[in-house]
């Protein structure tokens, strides 16, 4: 995973890398589907808005790589997510994964613990938490299907 995250970090640091899609148009005219608040944010905080968009695109690309590698079964826990119990089980497994990441971050960031055998950068956990959060929303909406 560290190779993927290194690529992710490089994508979000490189000013020459442009996402394959962008929320704002290239000529700074707002798309008609963007809300007034998004247009205002992009106007008042262009650096933050652009960086947020680039990170989200890079995370989407990482999600695509992982999705094609793992398939749907690791999130659906071998079910079709057709019943409330199946969805609850899936969301519980996502919560457990997120809890693992949060505990790792607590040890690294808050407590300053360093594991000499740990080759996974802290950024990996932040990225994983974001993607698991989106996956949980997809499962909750009943959209975890082809």
Rounded to whole angstroms, how far apart are CA atoms 87 and 44?
Answer: 40
pLDDT of residue 18: 44
- Whether the CB-CB separation of 61 and 14 falls below 8 Å is answered with no
As a whole number of angstroms, the distance between CA 122 and CA 2 comes to 10
State pLDDT tens for residues 14-52.
444 444 445 444 445 555 667 889 889 999 999 999 999
Q: What is the pLDDT of residue 27?
A: 45
- Tell how many helices (H) and how many strands (E) occur in the chain: 6, 0
**Dihedral pair phi/psi, residue 41, rounded to 5°:** -60, -45
Give the per-residue pLDDT at 16: 44
Q: Tell me: the pLDDT tens digits for 79-133?
A: 999 999 999 999 999 999 999 999 989 988 888 777 666 667 888 899 999 999 9
Contact 95, 133 (CB under 8 A): no
């Amino acid at each position: 995973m560290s190779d993927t995250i290194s690529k992710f970090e490089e994508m979000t640091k490189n000013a020459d890398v442009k996402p394959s899609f962008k929320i704002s148009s290239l000529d700074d005219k707002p798309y008609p589907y963007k809300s007034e608040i998004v247009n205002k944010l992009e106007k008042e905080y262009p650096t933050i808005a652009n960086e947020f968009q680039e990170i989200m695109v890079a995370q989407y690309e990482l999600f695509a790589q992982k999705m094609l590698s793992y398939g749907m079964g690791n999130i659906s826990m071998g079910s079709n997510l057709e019943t409330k119990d199946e969805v609850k089980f899936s969301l519980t497994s996502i919560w457990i994964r997120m809890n693992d990441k949060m505990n790792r971050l607590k040890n690294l960031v808050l407590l300053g613990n360093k594991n000499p055998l740990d080759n996974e950068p802290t950024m990996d956990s932040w990225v994983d938490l974001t993607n698991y959060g989106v996956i949980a929303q997809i499962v909750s909406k009943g959209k975890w299907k082809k």
